Amino acid sequence: MFKNVAELIEIAERENKLISEVMIEQEIEVTEKSRELIFDQMRRNLQVMEAAVERGISEDVRSVSGLTGGDAVLLQNYIKKGHFLSSDVLLDAVSKAVATNEVNAAMGTICATPTAGSAGVVPGVLFGMKNKLEPTEEQMIRYLFVAGAFGFVVANNASISGAAGGCQAEVGSATGMAAAALVELAGGTPQQSAEAMAIALKNMLGLVCDPVAGLVEVPCVKRNAMGASNAIVAADMALAGITSRIPCDEVIDAMYKIGQTMPETLRETGEGGLAATPTGRAYEAKIFGSAMSKR
């Protein structure tokens, strides 16, 4: 079993295996389930992700609070007009990340990767890149195993909880997971996956968790959008041969230590950051009543 990224990469390189294969074998060892059952369980996760993406980009999904909804459709319509500034592939991934989180905010079914608040990044990147890379179903499932491998390391060596480590631990971790997984999907090496994870995560360090009205909507949905774009750029940088001067495991450790020193007001309490702005408090009062907004 691997405990950190260095060990994961060492195993993959020594045994000439994909990171996804190392993760699958670890799951077999730990759970004592068959390869077929483990693969089928991940296939179901993939199906849940795809259903959420498709619903979010095709329906006018709205949250009960009214804070979020409809932005994924707006982006899809914007792409169709052809006047975008970045690229259709990147914006498609962004829209699908947003779609997933809008479905989550509307109490729909999503797959936490690694949390509900950060559930849009991994599927957004995968389904956004699907038409360009044309992966098989097996490759898409393996993408999720790679994301899981890096998420496993973060969860066991740092945190994936916004309450414990800020949004860097949620959207930041998801961004790194997606970047690493995209590298393997695109044919990169295990070491390049680690570089992509490090590049993506270190650009999310210090990101606070400040949900308006305490809901996983604002700014969470749009942070997933930024996470998806960050992941794709980080993967491209790694595939180009660019490396992180700080090793991946040290970036993860830095994230953990930053989270430990982050004020409680910026760790999912809704007491600081955007949640404490006049507009943030006004939304809180509108949704839950004026008593809560006076804290």
Rounded Cα gap, residues 55 and 77, in angstroms: 15
Identity at 9, one-letter amino acid code: I
CA nearest to 269, candidates 295, 243, 246? 295
Tokens for 253? 């450790």
Q: Are 5 and 150 in contact (CB under 8 A)?
A: yes
Q: Taking the alpha carbons of 258, 259, 261, 262 in that order, is the dihedral positive or negative?
A: positive
pLDDT at 1: 87
CA torsion angle 96 109 284 174 (round to 10): -50
- E strands in 93-231: none
Query: CB 32: neighbour CB atoms within 10 A?
Result: 7
CA 177 to centroid of chain Cα atoms: 7
pLDDT at 292: 52
> What residues does each domain of the chain span?
5-293
pLDDT at 290: 63
Entry field: residues in the chain: 295
pLDDT at 241: 98
Q: pLDDT tens string for the chain (295 positions)? A: 899 999 999 999 999 999 999 999 999 999 999 999 999 999 999 999 999 999 999 999 999 999 999 999 999 999 999 999 999 999 999 999 999 999 999 999 999 999 999 999 999 999 999 999 999 999 999 999 999 999 999 999 999 999 999 999 999 999 999 999 999 999 999 999 999 999 999 999 999 999 999 999 999 999 999 999 999 999 999 999 999 999 999 999 999 999 999 999 999 999 999 999 999 999 999 999 865 545 5
Q: Which fold has domain 5-293?
A: 2-methylcitrate dehydratase PrpD (1.10.4100)
pLDDT at 223: 98
pLDDT at 294: 52
pLDDT at 75: 98
Q: 3-class DSSP state for residue 127?
A: helix
